[in-house]
């Protein structure tokens, strides 16, 4: 579990329904170990090479990069929430398209209401699918984001409302964007969904 002690994040409005689960599992080939030849000659030159014990999945670097982009998006949003700044440059570093628009809209609403976000959130993201399997161009991330201590405050420091935080299921799509990865869309469900 990743714990982030960064001031704030505004829970994103829950989406009504997740749009389709991307299916595409990356399967690592499994290789058996080779033994010495049957000729009886066990010299190094006559032995077949021994393959590695396991071969990493070709999409592993893509999955790692997608998780880093997802985590970076929430850190950037938390940072932007301290001042309710929808133009925080880090947002565009980790998010694009609909995801970036959603984040900026939430921050704009905060600013208009005279509020900020601060506190601590916990995140447990994991990759659940890649499309296509190799090389992936999109990665689906599933998370259980705990916003219990991640709340909206007035600029004077008082809680802005009595809406509790809590554990929320999140599903995000992270896409290859040029040479890097960015979150293109995400949906945050109601408290208690994970």
For residues 112-122, one letter each, b for 16 or more C-beta atoms within 10 angstroms of the residue's C-beta and e for the rest, the string is eeebbbbbbbb
Q: Please report the DSSP string for 92-135 in residue order.
A: HHHB-HHHHHHHHHHHHHHHHHTEEEEEEEEE--EEEEEESSSS
- Look at residue 112 and tell me whether its pLDDT is greater than 90: yes
Question: Nearest to residue 3, comparing CAs of 107, 106, 75?
Answer: 75
Question: Nearest to residue 188, comparing CAs of 171, 163, 175?
Answer: 171
Residue 34 has what pLDDT? 30
Residue 178 has what pLDDT? 85
Dihedral of the alpha carbons of 41, 47, 48, 49, in degrees to the nearest 10: 180
Tokens of 44: 């190094």
What is the rounded CA–CA span in Å between residue 148 and residue 151? 7
Residue 30 has what pLDDT? 24
Residue 59 has what pLDDT? 58
Q: Are strands 138-154 and 115-123 parallel, antiparallel or unpaired?
A: antiparallel
Question: Which residues have a Cβ under 8 Å from the Cβ of 13 and sit 6 or more positions away?
Answer: 188
**Burial of residue 32 (number of CB atoms within 10 Å: 0-12, 13-18, 19+):** exposed
Residue 105 has what pLDDT? 96
Map out the domains of the chain with their CATH numbers: 2-20+56-191 (3.10.450.540)
Q: Which has the higher per-residue pLDDT, 19 or 177?
A: 177
Tens digit of each residue's pLDDT (9 = 90 or more) over 53-100: 333 455 578 899 999 999 999 999 999 999 999 999 999 999 999 999
How confident is the model over 107-129, as a mean pLDDT? 94
What is the rounded CA–CA span in Å between residue 8 and residue 82? 6
Tens digit of each residue's pLDDT (9 = 90 or more) over 18-64: 222 121 212 222 222 333 333 344 444 444 444 443 334 555 788 99
Question: Nearest to residue 190, comparing CAs of 55, 12, 1?
Answer: 12
Tens digit of each residue's pLDDT (9 = 90 or more) over 119-164: 889 999 999 999 987 788 999 999 999 999 888 998 888 888 888 8
3-state secondary structure of 187: strand
3-state secondary structure of 169: strand
């Amino acid at each position: 579990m990743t714990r982030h002690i960064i001031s704030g994040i505004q829970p994103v409005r829950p989406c009504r329904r997740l749009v389709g689960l991307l299916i595409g599992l990356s399967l690592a080939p499994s290789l058996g170990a080779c033994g010495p030849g049957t000729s009886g000659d066990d010299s190094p030159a006559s032995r077949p090479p021994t393959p590695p014990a396991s071969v990493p999945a070709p999409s592993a670097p893509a999955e790692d990069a997608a998780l880093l982009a997802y985590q970076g998006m929430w850190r950037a949003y938390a940072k932007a929430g301290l001042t309710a700044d929808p133009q925080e440059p880090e947002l565009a570093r980790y998010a694009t398209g609909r995801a970036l628009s959603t984040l900026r809209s939430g921050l704009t609403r905060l600013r208009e209401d005279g509020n900020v976000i601060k506190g601590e959130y916990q995140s447990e993201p994991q990759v659940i699918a890649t499309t296509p399997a190799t090389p992936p161009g999109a990665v689906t991330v599933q998370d259980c984001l705990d916003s219990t201590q991640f709340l909206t405050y007035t600029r004077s420091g008082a809680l802005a409302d009595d809406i509790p935080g809590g554990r929320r299921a999140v599903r995000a799509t992270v896409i290859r964007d040029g040479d890097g990865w960015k979150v293109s869309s995400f949906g945050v469900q109601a408290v208690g969904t994970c």
